[in-house]
Each structure stands twice: as structure tokens, then as C-alpha cells.
Amino acid sequence: MRRKLAAGNWKMNGTGGSLAELSALAESHAGPAAEILICPPATLLSRAADTVRGSAVAIGGQDCHANAAGAHTGDLSAAMLKDAGAAAVILGHSERRADHGETDAQICAKAGAAIAEGLTAVVCIGETLAEREAGDTLKIAGSQLAGSVPASATGANTVIAYEPVWAIGTGKVPTLAQIAEVHDFLRAELSARFGAAAADGFRLLYGGSVKPSNASEIFAVSNVDGALVGGASLRAADFSPIITALEAS
Ligand SMILES: O=C[C@H](O)COP(=O)(O)O
């Protein structure tokens, strides 16, 4: 049985004052039925980890380098994230693919490094609007999944987040049938690669304009094991009802 996961990606948002939102979240979900993960900017990782210590909320990074150490100005290794208190790391988010030109091969190497360090790799994939309109959604999902997920991945160390690029921060959400089509496809692709039993262990998150108002219907979709939430994860008042909806699903 897969444990549901509510993951929040704060992206490039948040300073010290934002930690009050984390405290509020931890207090209102003391014994959650779902796993809760918040990925703040790297500048807040240590303080966020201190803030949630002893609670049910885990902390994650938003990227890591594939190498363990060295001359990579501005980058952080998986070991550094772990040292700062992270239990997981988001990799291959579409904003990193677009802003930093990250390729599937680079994301795969980062995920392998994160897994080797004991972090959960949250690997993101998803099509652009042009790709969807060209009828290439499943082709893109399949190739990004195959290229970005390392051979060392298991359901215990890797989570897949399906995030259609056109749904991120736009208020546009795919139909429930469109979400189901991709998630069912991803499960089948994982099954073909890792075998049915192993594939069954991977959590598949949906991401893109998830809000308290649409969370319940999305969580009822086949093979949706949780969400990767951006804007609505910044405030406990918004993220909390999403967690509650996931717990009830
Ligand atoms: O990582 C999170 C996603 O990019 C979703 O962002 P959003 O909930 O603001 O649309």
C-alpha cells in the first residue's frame, strides 16, 4: 500500500518570517495519515528543519548537484542537503529544465546521487502546451520518465511528479481523465521497466494549480498518490486543507 504524499514546493519564495507557516502546518497535522514534505529555498533548509523537528513534516531541497563535492560555484550536493536536514529533493522541475537547460541525463545523475545519499528523489516530468496540442503528451512523459529515473530507483527512494508545464501557476488544470491517462501510463511504463511488483511501490504525484477547491477530485483519480503543490503550499491555511483532502481520499 502506497503512503499518500503531500509535497509543497516553495520555489524562490520565503524568508525567515515564512517559518511561522511551517510551525502552523506542523501543529495542525500532528499525526497525519499522509506524508507531508515541504521544500523551501536552500537558504531556509536548516532553519526549516529545526522548525519542524519532532513533527510529522519533513523538509526537502529543490535541486542538487550530481557530484558529491568540488568546484561547482553556487551548487549544493545531496550530502549538503542532507546535512542541512533534508530528507528529500525535487529534481528536474520544469522550471529547472527551462531556466537552466537541465536534460534528462543530468536529472538522472542528480537523482542517482540523491538516492545514494539516502534522500528521496522527487523526479518531475511533464509536457508543454505545444507538446500536448501536438498529441505528444504520453511520448514526452515516457521519454522523460525513462531518461530521468535512474536504475537505482525504487518506490522507497523515488517519487514521480507529473506536472504539465501549462498547468503550473496558471490556474489551468487538466481534466481528470487527462490526469488519469498519464498516471496510468506512468504506472505501466514503470511496470515494464521495473516489474509490476516494484512499479506498484512508486508514488505518483500530480502537480499544477492544485488548490483546496480541486484537491479532492484530483486525489480520487486513478494512480494519483498525492500532489506536488507550488503556490498553495506557501501558506498553512491553503496547504492544510489539501493535506486533509489527501488523507480523506
Ligand atoms: O512544484 C510545483 C508545481 O510547479 C506546481 O505549482 P503550482 O501549484 O503553483 O501550480
83's enclosing H/E stretch is helix 78-83
pLDDT band at 50 (very low <50, low <70, confident <90, very high): very high
Q: Which ligand 1 atom minimizes the distance to the CA of 90?
A: 1
72 catalytic? Reply is no
User: Which domain CATH number covers 157?
Assistant: 3.20.20.70
Cα-to-centroid distance, 181 and ligand 1 (Å): 20
Judge if pTM exceeds 0.90. yes
pLDDT band at 31 (very low <50, low <70, confident <90, very high): confident
- Residue 121 has phi, psi (to 5 degrees) of -90, 120
pLDDT band at 59 (very low <50, low <70, confident <90, very high): very high
Report, as an integer, the average pLDDT of 136-142.
98
Helices 45-52 and 19-28: crossing angle, nearest 10°?
30
Range of the domain at 66: 5-248
Report, as an integer, the average pLDDT of 18-44.
95
Residues with CB under 6 A from ligand 1: 9, 93, 163, 168-169, 207-210, 228-232
Counted domains in the chain: 1
Q: What is the 3-state secondary structure (H, E, C) of 113-181?
A: HHHHCCCEEEEEECCCHHHHHCCCHHHHHHHHHHHHCCCCCCCCCEEEEECCHHHCCCCCCCCHHHHHH
pLDDT in tens, 157-204: 999 999 999 999 999 899 999 999 999 999 999 999 999 999 999 999
User: Could you tell me if 218 and 11 are in contact, meaning their C-beta atoms sit under 8 angstroms apart?
Assistant: no
DSSP 10-54: --S---GGGHHHHHHHHHH-SS-SSEEEEE--GGGHHHHHHHHTT
